[in-house]
Each structure stands twice: as C-alpha cells, then as structure tokens.
Amino acid sequence: MDKIKLSRMQFFGNHGVFAEENKLGQRFYVDVELAVPLDKPGLSDHIDDTINYAHVFFKVKEIVEGRTYKLIEALAENIASELLGTYTSIHEVTVRVIKPHPPFPVVFDGVTVEINRKRAN
C-alpha cells in the first residue's frame, strides 16, 4: 500500500500523569503514516484525489493541543481514531507520539508510543 508520512510534527500540549505536566505543558512530536492508494492522484495531479496533508496536520494539532490526556497512549489512540473517521480513503494509520522530556530523574532521549490501526471492513 502507498503511504503519506508526516514526520516530526511539533505541538505544545499538557499531557501527563503529573499535575505539573498538565499545568506547565511541554513539547510533543507526532509522526503519522497513512496507508492510502496514491495511484489516482499520481496520474491526475489533482489535490482532490488525495489527502491534503496540511489538513491532516491541523487535525492532529487540534487533537494534541485541544484537550489533556494522562497517557500518550490515549493521545495516539485518539489521533488514529479521528484520522480513520475523517478520511475514508485511509486503510491503515500508524501514529507515533514522542514525549522528548518526560519528568523522570533519569537521562534518556524521550518516550515514544507507536500504534497501528486498520479500518474495519
């Protein structure tokens, strides 16, 4: 299946288990891979035959910045569900949510949650 990938989209959100995370917020990165047939737009060169990735960006932004989640797992699930519900041409979606600076007293390069969801037939 063909794919459209939006990589390292950056948003500011208030997600986390700790009250400080919900109050202060932090930066999150989101990657989205959309499995969608691209033969028609490849031949037509017309925006209406594909998924407008600018619209996808703003849909994800609305989800990440619009409400607070305790778990980035729930955030990823909501993104996947909304994209599958909004764009009927998507057969499968992979969502990665990266929390680059979790509030732990250890040093590592962030936490990533990755989920993959398929359209129910």
Give the catalytic positions in this structure.
99
Amino acid (one-letter) located at 16: G
Q: How many other C-beta atoms lie within 10 A of the C-beta of residue 25? A: 16
**Tokens standing for residue 46:** 């017309």
